[in-house]
Amino acid sequence: MKNINIIKTLILLIAVSLFISCDEGGDPVPGGTNVEAIAGDWWVVALEPDGVTPAYGGDYVQFSTYNTAANDNTFWLDDNNLWLQIKSKATVNLSSLTFESEPNTQELYTDETVTVTNGVFTKGTYTTESNTVVDEISFDAEFSWDPGTVYKFKGHKRTGFLEDENPQYE
């Protein structure tokens, strides 16, 4: 009988100490990344050099922008291997919200290179189908698999609302 009471007491003490030991105290601040202001998912369309005609007859695809492991002002520009296959690093100037890559930056989906220029993020300049005001993105890209052709990319931030999913380029 005494052994059962001792075991119950030990189990209770262990359980209480587990809950108490996990509390960091106060409200911890996890912080963010250097590029959190421009990070997210985007609906982006690739256009021919004329800036109007969809490249290869394509439409909007989902892009992502997110920090690199260095957590400096570089970020990944990634079409998630959905279409023109661009996943490369670019550098953002956070005060002007402009970005570009180094010339002939390694592109990770195709083992080719890409040069990104004239990149701009604009805050609160696009209204989606759901009447949500979001940011826009635009940039030019020249791929080593099509030298001399500078494709124009433009798009807007993804809201996640059903009526904003899979927009069509007009």
- CB-neighbour burial class of residue 52 (10 A; exposed 0-12, middle 13-18, buried 19+): exposed
The answer to whether residues 149 and 140 touch, using CB atoms and an 8 Å cutoff, is: no
Q: Tell me the two tokens of residue 127.
A: 């209204």
**Mean pLDDT computed over 52-71:** 94
* pLDDT attached to residue 168: 92
The answer to whether residues 156 and 135 touch, using CB atoms and an 8 Å cutoff, is: yes
* Region 40-164: CATH code: 2.40.128.220
The answer to whether residues 156 and 45 touch, using CB atoms and an 8 Å cutoff, is: no
Mean pLDDT rounded to a whole number for the chain? 91
d(CA 71, CA 33): 6
Pick the more confident residue, 26 or 133. Answer: 133
- pLDDT tens digit sequence for 80-132: 998 888 999 999 999 999 999 999 999 999 989 999 999 999 999 999 999 99
* pLDDT attached to residue 3: 74
* pLDDT attached to residue 50: 97
| Helices (H) then strands (E): counts for the chain | 1, 9
* pLDDT attached to residue 20: 63
d(CA 114, CA 88): 8
- Assign 10 a pLDDT band (cuts: 50, 70, 90): confident
